[in-house]
């Protein structure tokens, strides 16, 4: 009886699995990661991934701060997070989607290291495929040499930025909506554990939908799924599109749980206050978190921050920023005391595109988080920013 019951469960389970396998819409990543762990040995630190198949991979080093990056195909991550994480030379590690078809693991190492070997072992004694990377401490000069060697080997993995279709009507305004963070970079983490990257995408998508209904607008999203984009790529999307406006959406978290409300930021070489400077520093960390090589940068972004063209652009950015705040107030969301502030946000550095960064609210505050997580809250905030966009274009181009 029991046996027959189990046979039934098993058959039903197999049928279900079969149905999933053959359903055309079901496109799960082919490789599962069942375990990820760090091990400290006397002469090396080892990082191991257990996987259902042997993937292609690419390993490289990054400096400032010292990191090891492992790029793999898109993975189905089922592994538990390694308790405590810090072990041997590895202080922390993270993983996630870096871009379509590429999952990335970033190991933060406290100093210069040398990669002793990377190897994939085939399944044996009940274990699946295992990817190993062994690392050892080294000196700065050897690290730099290895870094340069691996960089020259590495194929160009930069994401091509596709120029958008030219607007049908040349008098259309092009608006770039930038959902902050994504993929391997979760952004801030809320009281309930919600990720900033999810909130920003939710609001950005809603903005896209509202804006797209207006024939005057050509709307471009920097991302519309859970992928990572470097800050430079985000800026480039705006510049390539010849955008009239760039709006970056974020939701911060802070150690003070009583802090709440929206703040709008524009670019400046001098931060308006310590809090703004601190925030810019943390938002600029996005590339670092995702293992982007920050030593190779586009000159336009890294170069001169303020020139004449940019000064004019900044005037427009400020004008727009000041229109957002009253709209957000009307939406029911609180706004901060000085609700327009400025600092050196890298994502706002296009010299020719008026750009603002909206911190919708604090995920560290219970009330704010509730609004930010809810569909109605997101819709209201999206509508508020769109109202400001409408007002802005009426003012600058009546
Ligand atoms: Zn953010």
Q: Are residues 88 and 136 in the same domain?
A: yes
Q: Residue 388 falls within a domain, yes or no? A: yes
Q: What is the pLDDT of residues 89-137, one digit of tens each?
A: 999 898 888 988 899 999 999 899 999 999 999 898 899 999 999 999 9
Ligand 1 centroid to Cα of residue 285, in Å, is: 10
Ligand 1 centroid to Cα of residue 182, in Å, is: 10
Q: Residue 140 falls within a domain, yes or no? A: yes
Instruction: State the Cα–Cα distance between residues 12 and 7, nearest whole angstrom.
Output: 8
Closest to 93 measured CA to CA, from 75, 122, 69: 69
Q: Residue 96 falls within a domain, yes or no? A: yes
Ligand 1 centroid to Cα of residue 358, in Å, is: 9
Q: What is the Cα 128 distance to its own chain's centre? A: 31
Please report how the helices 375-396 and 308-330 are oriented relative to each other, as an axis angle in degrees rounded to 10. Answer: 130
Mean pLDDT of 43-69: 92
Ligand 1 centroid to Cα of residue 332, in Å, is: 21
Q: Is the pLDDT of residue 150 over 80?
A: no
Q: Is the pLDDT of residue 321 over 50?
A: yes
Q: Residue 12 falls within a domain, yes or no? A: no
**Higher per-residue confidence, 33 vs 22:** 33
Ligand 1 centroid to Cα of residue 53, in Å, is: 35
Ligand 1 centroid to Cα of residue 210, in Å, is: 22
Host domain of residue 331: 173-396
Ligand 1 centroid to Cα of residue 76, in Å, is: 25
Q: Are residues 89 and 205 in the same domain?
A: no
Confidence of residue 292 (pLDDT cuts 50, 70, 90): confident
Ligand 1 centroid to Cα of residue 128, in Å, is: 38
Q: Are residues 345 and 198 in the same domain?
A: yes
Closest to 188 measured CA to CA, from 283, 84, 275: 283
Q: Are residues 111 and 213 in the same domain?
A: no
Ligand 1 centroid to Cα of residue 194, in Å, is: 13
Q: Are residues 147 and 64 in the same domain?
A: yes
Q: What is the Cα 117 distance to its own chain's centre? A: 30
Ligand 1 centroid to Cα of residue 359, in Å, is: 7
Q: Are residues 324 and 391 in the same domain?
A: yes
CATH number at residue 142: 2.60.40.3500
Q: Are residues 245 and 97 in the same domain?
A: no
Ligand 1 centroid to Cα of residue 330, in Å, is: 23
Please report how the helices 196-212 and 375-396 are oriented relative to each other, as an axis angle in degrees rounded to 10. Answer: 50
Q: Residue 18 falls within a domain, yes or no? A: no
Q: What token pair was written down for 200? A: 């920003």
Q: What is the pLDDT of residues 262-271, one digit of tens each?
A: 999 999 888 9
Q: Mean pLDDT in the chain?
A: 85
Ligand 1 centroid to Cα of residue 392, in Å, is: 24
pLDDT of residue 306: 53
Ligand 1 centroid to Cα of residue 52, in Å, is: 34
Ligand 1 centroid to Cα of residue 165, in Å, is: 28
Q: Are residues 334 and 190 in the same domain?
A: yes
Ligand 1 centroid to Cα of residue 212, in Å, is: 24
Angle of CA points 381, 384, 386, to nearest 5°: 110
Ligand 1 centroid to Cα of residue 268, in Å, is: 18
Half-sphere exposure in the Cβ direction for 134 (13 Å, CA):
8
**Higher per-residue confidence, 349 vs 2:** 349
Ligand 1 centroid to Cα of residue 187, in Å, is: 5
Alpha helix segments (H runs only) across the chain: 2-22, 140-153, 196-212, 231-240, 274-284, 286-290, 299-302, 308-330, 366-373, 375-396
Confidence of residue 12 (pLDDT cuts 50, 70, 90): very low
Residue whose token pair is 């604090």: 362
Distances (CA, A) of 163 to 20, 213, 235: 37, 22, 13
Looking only at Cα atoms, what is the longest distance across the chain?
84
Domain C-terminal end among 86, 118, 153: 153
Ligand 1 centroid to Cα of residue 251, in Å, is: 6
Mind giving me the DSSP string for 65-100?
TTEEEEEEE-EEE-PPPPSS--BTTEEEEEEEEEET
Domain C-terminal end among 99, 120, 153: 153
Q: Are residues 132 and 184 in the same domain?
A: no
């Amino acid at each position: 009886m029991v046996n027959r019951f189990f046979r039934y469960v098993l058959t039903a389970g197999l049928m279900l699995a079969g149905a999933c396998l053959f359903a055309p819409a079901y496109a799960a990543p082919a490789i599962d990661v069942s375990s990820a762990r760090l091990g400290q040995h006397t002469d090396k630190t080892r990082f191991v991934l257990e996987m259902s198949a042997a993937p292609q991979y690419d390993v490289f080093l990054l400096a400032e701060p010292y990191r090891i990056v492992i790029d793999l195909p898109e993975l189905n991550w089922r592994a538990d997070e390694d308790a405590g994480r810090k072990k041997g030379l590895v202080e922390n590690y993270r993983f996630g989607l870096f871009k379509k078809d590429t999952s990335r693991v970033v190991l933060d190492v406290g100093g210069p290291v040398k990669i002793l070997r990377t190897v994939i072992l085939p399944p044996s004694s009940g274990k699946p495929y295992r990817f190993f990377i062994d690392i050892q401490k080294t000196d700065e000069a050897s690290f730099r040499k290895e870094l340069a060697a691996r960089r020259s080997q590495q194929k160009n993995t930069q994401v091509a930025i596709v120029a958008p279709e030219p607007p049908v009507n040349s008098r259309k305004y092009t608006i770039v909506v930038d959902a902050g963070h994504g993929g391997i970079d979760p952004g801030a983490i809320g009281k309930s554990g919600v990720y900033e990257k999810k909130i920003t995408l939710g609001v950005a998508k809603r903005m896209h939908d509202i804006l797209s209904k207006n024939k005057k607008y050509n709307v471009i999203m920097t991302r519309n799924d859970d992928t990572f984009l470097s800050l430079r790529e985000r800026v480039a999307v705006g510049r390539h599109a010849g955008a009239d406006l760039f709006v970056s959406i974020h939701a911060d978290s802070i150690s003070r749980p009583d802090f709440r409300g929206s703040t709008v930021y524009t670019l400046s070489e001098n931060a308006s206050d310590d809090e703004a400077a601190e925030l810019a520093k943390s938002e600029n960390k996005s590339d670092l978190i995702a293992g982007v090589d920050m030593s190779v940068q586009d000159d336009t972004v890294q170069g001169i921050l303020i020139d004449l063209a940019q000064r004019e652009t900044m005037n427009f950015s400020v004008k727009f920023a000041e229109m957002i705040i009253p709209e957000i107030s009307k939406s029911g969301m609180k706004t901060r005391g000085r609700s327009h502030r400025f600092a050196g946000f890298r994502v706002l550095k296009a010299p020719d595109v008026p750009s603002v960064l909206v911190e919708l609210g604090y995920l560290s505050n219970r009330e704010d988080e509730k609004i930010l997580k809810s569909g109605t809250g997101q819709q209201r905030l999206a509508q508020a920013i769109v109202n400001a966009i409408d007002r802005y274009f009426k003012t600058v181009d009546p």
